[in-house]
Amino acid sequence: MAKYSKVLRRPVSITGGNAQTSRFSLRFRRCARVVDTSMDAPAISTENLTRRFGGLLAVDRINLRVTPGQFFGFLGPNGAGKSTTIKMLTGLLAPSSGRIEILGRDLVADPVDVKRQIGVVPEGMALFGRLTGAEYLNFVGRMYGLDRATAAQRTSELLEFMQLADQPKALVTDYSHGMQKKLALAAAVIHGPRILFLDEPFEGVDALASGTLKAMLQRMIARGATIFLTSHVLEIVERLCSHVAIIHRGQLVAQGSLEELRAGVQAQTAVAAGNGASSQLPAAAPGEKLTLEEIFLRIVGGSRIADQELSWLG
Ligand SMILES: Nc1ncnc2c1ncn2[C@@H]1O[C@H](COP(=O)(O)OP(=O)(O)O)[C@@H](O)[C@H]1O
Ligand SMILES: [Mg+2]
């Protein structure tokens, strides 16, 4: 019987029916799976990932590639398809078509194995409001298979780090929005995930909490984790992320390092200016470094709302 080995990238023959051979091949395949995920597989890879809602094509055949260890920003205007994509990448929403591989494993074929290795703060956070912060973190830790002592230890360390330890009796439902965000992030990292997915982690968070979140994310990156976050706060993405992708009306319109995007946009602007094409956006001066906001506006093709006039506002 010929089987395909992802490690060897060619068919391997698993022959014979005796028990010894079967035990060997089972061990080989288990071992092969471990090797496969830790080698050079991308952290996240999608192939023509698509999601429809009735007649609406919310995500349209996107091919994402995120390398392990990258701090990756997924940007796009409101309604572009960011949350839909992150839900599909974390197994919270089924794709209409296309493939997703996380750390070299097919998400549909291996959902539990994949979910063990990732953490997610989805759009609505999905916390349990009737528990205290400590109860919630302990619960999540135990669900990820941590033993009682480890779950308790990490819970108290995380509550301390996130400055959530002051009101041990408060229920999650009574937490402020920013406190809930910090708790959701603590829950997403309690099992030490290799990839962290965050949907708008800084939205509704004050400067102090935002500093705490950033410190935690940078610490994770320093330890080799991969982070995939969506945000519309471009200054934060510019400061934190090494790589970005831009989605617009469901389609991926750019992907690469910040430097690659900047160089691409600058070259395109120069060509357009050379052809006498007019742009709503001023051309970059030679040597001027475009900000991520300028890159974003040029790629997505918008003009600042502030520049538009609402005559009735007076
Ligand atoms: N459950 C749903 N049912 C119908 N339409 C949806 C649903 N979720 C998202 N959409 C639509 O899909 C598009 C992309 O939404 P979303 O991924 O939330 O955008 P973003 O996170 O980039 O703001 C939007 O037009 C939105 O209205
Ligand atoms: Mg969203």
For residue 285, the model assigns a pLDDT of 61
**Model confidence at 199, in pLDDT bands (50, 70, 90)?**
very high
Of the listed ranges 28-32, 70-74, 216-220, the least confidently predicted one is: 28-32
**Model confidence at 16, in pLDDT bands (50, 70, 90)?**
very low
Nearest to 81, CA basis, from 67, 96, 66: 96
Nearest to 105, CA basis, from 194, 58, 36: 36
For residue 311, the model assigns a pLDDT of 72
**Residue 220 confidence (pLDDT) above 90:** yes
Q: Tell me which DSSP letter residue 132 carries.
A: B
* Ligand 1 site, residue 55, Cβ cutoff 6 A: no
* Ligand 1 site, residue 81, Cβ cutoff 6 A: yes
Nearest to 219, CA basis, from 205, 240, 233, 204: 240
DSSP 241-254: -SEEEEEETTEEEE
For residue 200, the model assigns a pLDDT of 93
Going by CA atoms, what residue is nearest to atom 26 of ligand 1?
Answer: 79
- Residue in the structure block whose two tokens are 């005796």: 18
List of residues 6+ apart from 241 with CB closer than 8 A? 71, 72, 73, 229, 258
Mean pLDDT of 28-49: 68
Q: Cα–Cα distance between 85 and 4 in angstroms, integer?
A: 29
Q: Looking at ligand 1, which atom is closest to the CA of residue 87? A: 17
For residue 218, the model assigns a pLDDT of 93
Check: CB of residue 141 under 8 Å from CB of residue 197: no
For residue 276, the model assigns a pLDDT of 61
**Residue 30 confidence (pLDDT) above 60:** no
Mean pLDDT of 38-61: 93
Mean pLDDT of 75-81: 93
Check: CB of residue 13 under 8 Å from CB of residue 24: no
**Residue 110 confidence (pLDDT) above 70:** yes
For residue 146, the model assigns a pLDDT of 97
* Ligand 1 site, residue 183, Cβ cutoff 6 A: no
Pick the most confident of 70-84, 208-222, 226-240, 274-288: 70-84
Entry pTM:
0.82
**Model confidence at 301, in pLDDT bands (50, 70, 90)?**
confident
CA separation (Å) from 225 to 45, 197, 312?
16, 11, 50
**Residue 87 confidence (pLDDT) above 50:** yes
The residue among 181 and 312 whose pLDDT is bigger is 181
* Ligand 1 site, residue 83, Cβ cutoff 6 A: yes
- Which helix (H) or strand (E) segment is 82 a member of? helix 82-89
76 CA to centre of ligand 1 in angstroms: 12
Q: Cα–Cα distance between 314 and 62 in angstroms, integer?
A: 43
For residue 272, the model assigns a pLDDT of 64
According to CATH, the topology of domain 46-248 is Rossmann fold (3.40.50)
- Residue in the structure block whose two tokens are 């102090």: 208
Q: Cα–Cα distance between 307 and 314 in angstroms, integer?
A: 15
